[in-house]
Amino acid sequence: MSAADAVLAGRREAEALMVDACTVTRPGDPVTDPDTGEVTPSSTPVYSGPCKVQQTISQASTPSAGGHQFTVQDSRVDFPVSAGPLMVDDVVTVTASVLDPQLAGSVFRVVELFHKSFATAQRTRVSELVE
């Protein structure tokens, strides 16, 4: 088996585990309604399809800054290699999750991309956006 065949087989296996669904949008410039003056955010669709959400370690860190304590969990969202191209600050919204219904509706911001020659998936580090 060639290296290319092995990578393609690995991609099929990785994508078989992507049982969640999501959309990815890229934030744009705010848009002002000329009649009302209301300003709303704009975004551009980047990807819609399968993904996999996971925390990479089970412990969270709790840094402090400015007198406030934060909880930081190391999380990632995996996409097919063909998705995107993705960029830092893209917004990932989980639209469905077969095995964890609580994930549906979760929103994440891409904070780090992951590139390599023999990638079987795009593994992006994300931060959950909580209102």
Is the model's pLDDT at 57 over the cut of 70?
no
Helix (H) or strand (E) segment spanning residue 8: helix 3-16
Measured from the Cβ of residue 68, the count of other Cβ atoms closer than 10 Å reads 7
State mean pLDDT over 38-67: 83
The pTM score is 0.83
Write down the domain spans for the chain: 3-128
* Residue 23 CA: distances (Å) to CA of 60, 84, 103: 26, 11, 13
Give me the CATH topology for the region 3-128.
Thrombin, subunit H (2.40.10)
- Upstream peptide bond of 85 is cis (omega within 30 degrees of 0): yes
pLDDT tens-digit readout, 73-119: 778 999 999 998 999 999 999 999 999 999 999 999 999 998 999 99
Q: Report whether pLDDT(70) > 80.
A: no
At residue 3, does pLDDT exceed 80?
yes
